[in-house]
Structure 1
Amino acid sequence: MTTVQATFDSVDPATGEVVGTHPIAGPEEVQAAVDRARPAADWWASLGFAGRAERLGRWKAALTRRAHELADVVHAETGKPHADAMLEIILAIDHTAWAAKHARKVLGPHRRSPGLLMANHAATVEYQPLGVVGVIGPWNYPVFTPMGSIAYALAAGNAVVFKPSEYTPAVGRWLADSFAEVVPEQPVFQVVTGLGATGAALCASGVAKIAFTGSPGTGKKIMAACAETLTPVLIEAGGKDALLVDADADIDAAADAAVWGGFSNAGQTCVGVERVYVHERVYDEFVAKVVEKAREVKPGTQIGPITMPAQLDIIRRHIDDAVARGGKALTGGTVGARFVEPTVLVDVPEDAAAVREETFGPTLTVAKVRDMDEAIAKANDTTYGLGGTVFSKSRGMELARRLRSGMVAVNSVISFAGVPSLPFGGSGDSGFGRIHGPEGLREFGRPKAIARQRFRAPLVLTTFARTAKVDERVEKLIKLLHGR
């Protein structure tokens, strides 16, 4: 008797139209993919940095040639404008190129000083591949965000099994299929589609590491599942990022950054701007410019729908709570069946849900502060610690360093995400670990320390033949080196 595999549909969130049907991979299918990946990982690692870079270069070129095709898939499953889909694809291509180019320099053998006591040794450290890495990706940036793990894990010499969001399974399938076309020899990069249970099966499958992007609640479940097998995890779990506007800021640029940072991708950006703290001397001017710019952003053309239907209730609750507690919506405030108008909220209490919780929708709370000390205190008063933005002509770097966040953009917005050499990640409810940059490559390698004796030392310490005279000399040496 033939068993029919369960399936699920992906839909266009702007229309509700079904755009694809995909299999639900159960524990057996997930385990089979991981088992296939193990010999593939050995083969991929054996290619060395040069062999992998050459093949990743082929994939990068294929992604570049077919970017519009991939953007069509992203648009169909997320509803975001085609141009915004292209933007995240372009960034993913650039990151893939950086990871392939720099993997050897970052992960290859590095000499370390052996110190005086071990001067007869050569000391080196290198990063070896973990093996099979599991990646669980989000729906809001279904190419750029997971590729920050996929491309870096591949460059480090690992095979990857990718579980895309159930809202964007076709994007994940497209990425894996395009890779298989340029690397047909082994199943180095595979996709398993499904719902939450599929992700749980990947956590229990014996992969060497899980890289997860999603909500803090799901991140905790991932950690709990991985704890059963001591599987290490990398967690990126969202944020409540703040933008600071100092008295000497370029107000036009700051207002434009707030609108883009808050409303692009319909606010569904983990490092998007959700809170703004503005010096009282420029508050009125800033708010007027933000409102003017926000009214020009049109749902359905410049921003897409809310991809996950359940998020609409959260956005509505945050806006309603803010208004009920004395806040005012200077523009927007309407939550439709699929789209949300860009909403600028002022006079919102700091303990309101719109200030405390991640909204993940096109809303901004804008608050007046006496000075940047107050702005820093309020910006840091959150359980999240992902990104941040500062606009100031004279104090930008100082204020950036005082923000308790993993990343900060100064006089620009979200620019750190576009720099491949910079690590991306946060702390607190935003998770831990880093993708991108050298730190991102090292997340997917195992440090290997090697000490090689070059010649026999005058004082041999690691032997039972060691004499009291040797011990006496070593004691004198240590006192000479460290006793004063």
Structure 2
Amino acid sequence: MSTVTFDSLNPATGAVVGTHPKAGPEAVHEAVGRAETAAAWWGALGHAERKRRLLDYKAVLTQHIRELAALVHEENGKPVGDATLELVLAITHLDWAARNAAKVLGRRRVGTGMIGLNLAATLEYLPLGVVGVIGPWNYPVFTPMGSIAYALAAGNAVVFKPSELTPGIGVRLAELFKESVPEHEVFQTITGLGETGAALAGDPRVKKVAFTGSTATAKRVMAACAENLTPIVAECGGKDAFIVDADADLAAAADACLWGAMSNAGQTCVGVERVYVVDAVYDGFMRELTERAARLKAGEDYGPITMPGQVEIIKRHIDDATKAGKAVTGGPGAVRPPYVDPVIVEDVPEDSPAVREETFGPTITVRRTRDAQEALELANASAYGLGGTIFSRNARRAMELARLMRSGMTAINSVISFAGVPALPFGGVGDSGFGRIHGADGLREFARPKAISRQRFAMPGMNLTSFNRGPAELERLVRLITFLHGRRKR
């Protein structure tokens, strides 16, 4: 029987990068079956042995970093330097997950309180079994590895369905894993289109799904998972805000803003899309920003729009924004598929699609605000809540603004820096999704808590969980609880 295949294309040239099978329901079923067997073996290895093998895998990825960066460049279109940075971040997270899994998830004693004085209690986090990962095309290594590495470190087997736009890098990641773990298929990649991902999400043997993609697609994945009550961690889109306070370093803010908005052609879920600048420094910031933007070149400093269909969304947002606002850099003519030149538009109404909807292109809207409080209110008036940025020299004020920003993550005087700190959880609120990858929370996301209590000795005169319990024992309990908890705090 012939295998149905599809091609991955270079988005800049249209050249075929690779040909891959479209995995149907039967192939997905078989992959999950192999993963079930692998999960039992991998979970039984224990933290120390898994750590050793994951650190070896880290070394293998590092040795192949140039090859992998070149493949990301071919499939995604981003410059090799940006692809290399993506791989470095993924390797760093893999290292952290491997080294910290035992400490975060391992068995530990917990306090029992006075009522449980005769008990010993332990808590540990055990593997789920098979985890399905559905990855994106914009960061085809860093983003899915934020789930894959942490799921593997927690003791699970992983079946990974990469985007159909970047399947080759997903295949290569699993191939290289076999150099460190040859015994069982602990980490497999299955390639295909949307039906492949749906089959993976709908398989009842998959104990959790980690999805990255649009909010609309996340809802469809959740519907498939709901059939089996399969839990899901969803990292969806963003419309991240960048606030420039009156005391900000304007040169540094403009530099960070431009990179956060334009790198990877703006195809970054935590990329800068909305900028709010306090009136006192607005003109100075705009000078810094537009001067830098004028030197930026699509096709050199960043790559093409990877997904052809996104070009129309970007064009629609630019057209709408420039009708109501003022284009200070670029404009409708900036769209020249597969590239989009930098676009900066000011005075765009807050109800414009360019402000409300995720653009996912090298465009930003900039608005003058009365003060940082107004900027914060505008930043928070969004259905999304993934990341954000505050630029201010006042550390206390910046921290307070960052805490009040309705987002899962906020960077201060830097952009997207939280993604490079493995100990920090990554995820959002609202239409940006739920659940977390990275950090201790990311490890626990792919494990199940196991609580155990053990009676060390019988409590004299206090056998409360027995039909032999008498009125005197209940009275002693009431007196004890009144002594412990009955005093009101004034």
The TM-score, its normalising length taken from structure 1, stands at 0.99
Residue 176 of structure 1 aligns with an amino acid whose one-letter code is A
Instruction: Count residues in correspondence.
Output: 482
Worse overlay, 388-397 or 461-470: 461-470
- 1:22 maps to 20
Tell me the residue number matched to 2:317: 318
Is the 8 Å Cα contact of residues 323 and 329 (structure 1) preserved in structure 2? no
Tell me the secondary structure at the aligned position of residue 280 of structure 2: coil
Query: SS of the residue aligned with 2:335?
Result: coil
How far apart in 1 are the matches of 2:293 and 2:102?
45
Task: Tell me if structure 2 keeps the 8 A contact 1:291–1:331.
Answer: no
- Structure 1 residue 290, shift from structure 2 partner: 0.6
The answer to which of 333-342 and 400-409 deviates more is: 333-342
In 1: Cα distance, 2:261 partner to 2:404 partner: 22
Q: Given that residues 44 and 188 in structure 1 are in contact (C-alpha distance below 8 angstroms), is that contact kept between their aligned partners in structure 2?
A: yes
Amino acid at match of 1:218: T
Which residue in 1 is equivalent to 2:238?
Answer: 239
What does the per-residue CA deviation read over 1:367-417, in whole Å, with 9 as the maximum and x for residues that have no partner? 100001110010000000000000011121011011000000000000000
- Structure 1 counterpart of 2:10, one-letter code: D
Determine helix, strand or coil for the equivalent of 1:193: coil
Corresponding position of 1:464: 467
Following superposition of structure 1 onto structure 2, how do residues 134-153 of structure 1 map, counting pairs within 5 Å? 134-153=132-151
Residue deviations 1:128-147 (CA, integer Å, cap 9, x gap): 00000000000000000000
In the alignment, which residue of structure 2 is the partner of 1:408?
410
Deviation at 1:332, TM superposition (A): 5.1
Q: Which residue of 2 aligns with 1:390?
A: 390
SS in 2 for 1:208: strand
Question: Residue 267 in 1 paired to residue 269 in 2?
Answer: no
What is the aligned-residue identity percentage? Answer: 63
Structure 1 residue 326: Cα displacement: 3.4
The separation in 2 between residues aligned to 1:426 and 1:383, in whole angstroms, is 11
> Which runs of no fewer than 5 residues in structure 2 stay unpaired?
none
- Structure 1 residues without counterparts, runs of 5 or longer: none
Partner of 1:7: 5
Amino acid at match of 1:348: V
Contact 2:322 2:331 in 1 (8 A): no
The one-character-per-residue Cα deviations of 1:317-376 (angstroms, maximum 9, x if unpaired) are 000001112332433541012000011111111111111100000001111000011100
**Per the alignment, in what secondary structure is the counterpart of residue 5 of structure 1?**
coil
Specify the SS of the correspondent of 2:340.
coil
Aligned counterparts, 1:339-378, within 5 A: 339-378=339-378
Alpha-carbon distance in structure 1 between the residues aligned to 2:286 and 2:186: 51
> What letter matches 1:460 in structure 2?
N
Q: Which amino acid aligns with 1:184?
A: P
> How far apart are the structure 2 equivalents of 1:389 and 1:110?
37
Q: What is the distance in 1 between the residues matched to 2:424 and 2:100?
A: 13
User: Of 461, 466, 474, which aligns to 2:477?
Assistant: 474
Corresponding residue for residue 115 of structure 2: 117
2-structure distance, mates of 1:482, 1:189: 51
- Worse overlay, 412-421 or 290-299: 290-299
Alignment match, 1:308: 307
Q: What TM-score, normalized by structure 2, do the two folds share?
A: 0.97
Question: C-alpha separation between the residues in 2 aligned to 1:347 and 1:412?
Answer: 25
Alignment of 1:191-340 (within 5 A): 191-206=189-204, 207-331=206-330, 333=332, 334-340=334-340
| Structure 1 residue 219 displacement after superposition | 0.2
Render the CA deviation track for 1:211-270: whole Å, top value 9, x for unaligned: 000000000001111001100000000100000000000000000011000000000000
- SS of residue paired to 1:282: helix
RMSD over aligned CA atoms reads 0.8
What does the per-residue CA deviation read over 1:54-87, in whole Å, with 9 as the maximum and x for residues that have no partner?
0001100001111001011101100100000000
Q: Residues of 2 paired with 1:182 and 1:130: CA distance?
A: 22
What corresponds to 1:439 in structure 2? 441
